[in-house]
Amino acid sequence: MAELVAVIASTHHPFYYRASTATGADRPPFADEWVAKIERFRQTLTAAEPDVLVMVGSDHFHQLWLDNMPQFLVGKAPFFDANWHNEEREFGLPRMTLRGEEELAAHILRDGLDRDFDLAFSNELRIDHSITCPIITLRPEADLPIVPVYTNIFAPPLPQPRRFVQLGKALREMVESWDSDKRVAVIGTGHLSLELGGPRQFGEHGPDPEFDRRAVEWIAGGDIGGCLAEVSLESLHSPGNATHGFMDFMLMMGVAGEGQKADHVDTLDLFHTMEAYFTWYPNGVPTGTGAPA
Amino acid sequence: MSRYLLDKFLYTVDRDPELTERYRTDPAGTVGWWEAEMAGRLLNCTDAERTTWLSFTEDERRALREHDHVTLFEMGAHPFLTLTLFIAMFERDHGPLEYQRAYGRAMAHLSLPYPDIAT
């Protein structure tokens, strides 16, 4: 069976690409520290030597629209083009094409349906920065095949937080029941407290540093029970109007498992948001560097 | 109220660079043309298969014509759509993050709970 070699949860800040590639007067003062943290984070994936990446993210009204909105969707295609006009315009993100792992996508769809997750699918999916940001930060070579999994954290009515956790737990079982000798990493991105288009946006910090502190504790300690006891669809409005993206972190806590402490935890307090990076190794910390033999 | 149609306007104008510029320079003309020609266009279908029943209220038309992002927020237009389109139109006239911060300050009088954005 396939081996789950790393579980990674991250924020997806679309400004990282521009900040990290800017030079001279255009380079923001926080860029060097940000890049150093990202390079350490990247090494946690490299060391796991994955063959395939399952990428959990959320379409931001790019291909998925209100006339036909899935709650959970799996991309099954040989390739995925990536990034959209408004992401090039606002964030300077490059156009990309990633390979797909159709065999694993087909397995997740069949196995997921049989586990009572009524997953939608797409055979022609252009992915957005929720998936390309972690490719840029964690695997800039963009050389591994992916299976994108989109969740709806964006267009209410949304699934309940517990459903994200349940899907995460099931996704792990789906990966580990794939009849393959491949090494699979599951990478998911979301947000801590975040406000977009409201009065609390673009402050000196994220809109709710206290929520961020507690969220990092929940994630780092694998405290699914504590998190579910505090977080509801209603409560997530309070830290910031885009904070429902935190539910993708909850999905990743489900993949990692109840009580599983993260092997790598890092944060960066930026204007506008708290960045947060977590890696779990389900089968122990790898001993190699991930460098080719 | 036609919150879905507000979102459809913001979504379709944002993704088309020519429409974005047209809305920036001629908001009233663009809103009138869009409601007549585009509001009923079902996005994944041919032009022959049009939706017959979508229209704005007069307050919605006015908010769009006046580039009034605060009223759009109060009406429950999706804040991500409004913000993304308005940054595309107006960030060019401002320093780094200056427009985004002014956009937030214009809504400083608003408090929780925010308007419902469900469609």
Q: Which two tokens stand for residue A134?
A: 């972690």
**Residue whose structure tokens are 């809109």:** A207
Alpha carbon distances (Å) from B96 to A24, A28, A271, B81 = 16, 11, 12, 20
pLDDT, position A290: 77
Whether a cis peptide bond, with omega within 30° of 0, leads into B79 is no
Confidence bin at B1 (pLDDT 50/70/90): low
| A216–chain B nearest CA distance, Å | 24
Say whether A275 sits in a helix, a strand or coil.
Answer: strand
Residue A65: exposed, middle, or buried by beta-carbon count in 10 A (0-12, 13-18, 19+)?
middle
Chain B residues inside the 8 Å CB shell of A86: 14-15, 84, 88
Q: For chain A, positions 154-173, list CB contacts with chain B under 8 A.
A: 154-157
Q: Does A199 touch chain B (CB under 8 A)?
A: yes
**Residue whose structure tokens are 């939706």:** B51
Chain B residues inside the 8 Å CB shell of A154: 80
The size of the A-B interface in CB pairs under 8 A is: 79
Name residue A7's beta-bridge partners.
A186, A280
Q: What is the ipTM of this complex?
A: 0.95
Q: Is the dihedral of CA A115, A119, A125, A130 positive or negative?
A: negative
- With a CB cutoff of 8 Å and minimum separation 6, the contacts of A30 are A19, A268, A270
Contact criterion met (CB < 8 Å) for A86 and B81: no
| B17–chain A nearest CA distance, Å | 8
Query: What type of residue sits at position B6?
Result: L
**How many residues belong to chain A?**
293
Contact criterion met (CB < 8 Å) for A84 and B15: yes
**Residue whose structure tokens are 């032009």:** B47
Contact criterion met (CB < 8 Å) for A157 and B118: yes
* Mutation target vs A (from B21, B100, B109, B111; most A CBs, 10 A cutoff): B100
Q: Does A85 touch chain B (CB under 8 A)?
A: yes
CA distance B23 to B26: 5
Contact criterion met (CB < 8 Å) for B82 and A66: no
- The alpha-carbon radius of gyration of chain A (Å, integer) is 18
Neighbours of B96 (CB within 10 A): 10
pLDDT, position A292: 59
* Mutation target vs A (from B83, B90, B109; most A CBs, 10 A cutoff): B83
Chain A residues inside the 8 Å CB shell of B107: 198-199
Q: Could you read off the pLDDT tens digit of each residue along chain A, which spans 293 residues?
A: 999 999 999 999 999 999 999 999 999 999 999 999 999 999 999 999 999 999 999 999 999 999 999 999 999 999 999 999 999 999 999 999 999 999 999 999 999 999 999 999 999 999 999 999 999 999 999 999 999 999 999 999 999 999 999 999 999 999 999 999 999 999 999 999 999 999 999 999 999 999 999 999 999 999 999 999 999 999 999 999 999 999 999 999 999 999 999 999 999 999 889 999 999 999 999 987 776 55
Contact criterion met (CB < 8 Å) for A197 and B79: yes
Name the closest residue on chain B to residue A155, using Cα atoms: B118
The mean pLDDT of B7-23, rounded to a whole number, is 98
Q: Tens of pLDDT along B61-119?
A: 999 999 999 999 999 999 999 999 999 999 999 988 999 999 999 999 999 999 999 99
Q: Strand A120-122 and strand A72-75: pairing?
A: parallel
Q: Does A67 touch chain B (CB under 8 A)?
A: yes
- H helices present in A177-234, as ranges: 209-221, 224-230
Cβ A52 vs Cβ A183: under 8 Å: yes
CA distance A30 to A271: 10
Domains assigned to chain A: 3-280 (3.40.830.10)
Name residue A54's beta-bridge partners.
A147, A186
Contact criterion met (CB < 8 Å) for B44 and A67: yes
CA distance B33 to B18: 14
Q: Does B2 touch chain A (CB under 8 A)?
A: no
Chain B residues inside the 8 Å CB shell of A240: none
3-class SS letters over chain B: CCHHHHHHHHHHHHCCHHHHHHHHHCHHHHHHHHHHHCCCECCCCCCCCECCCCCCCHHHHHHHHCCCHHHHHHCCCCHHHHHHHHHHHHHHHCCCCHHHHHHHHCCCCCCCCCCCCCC
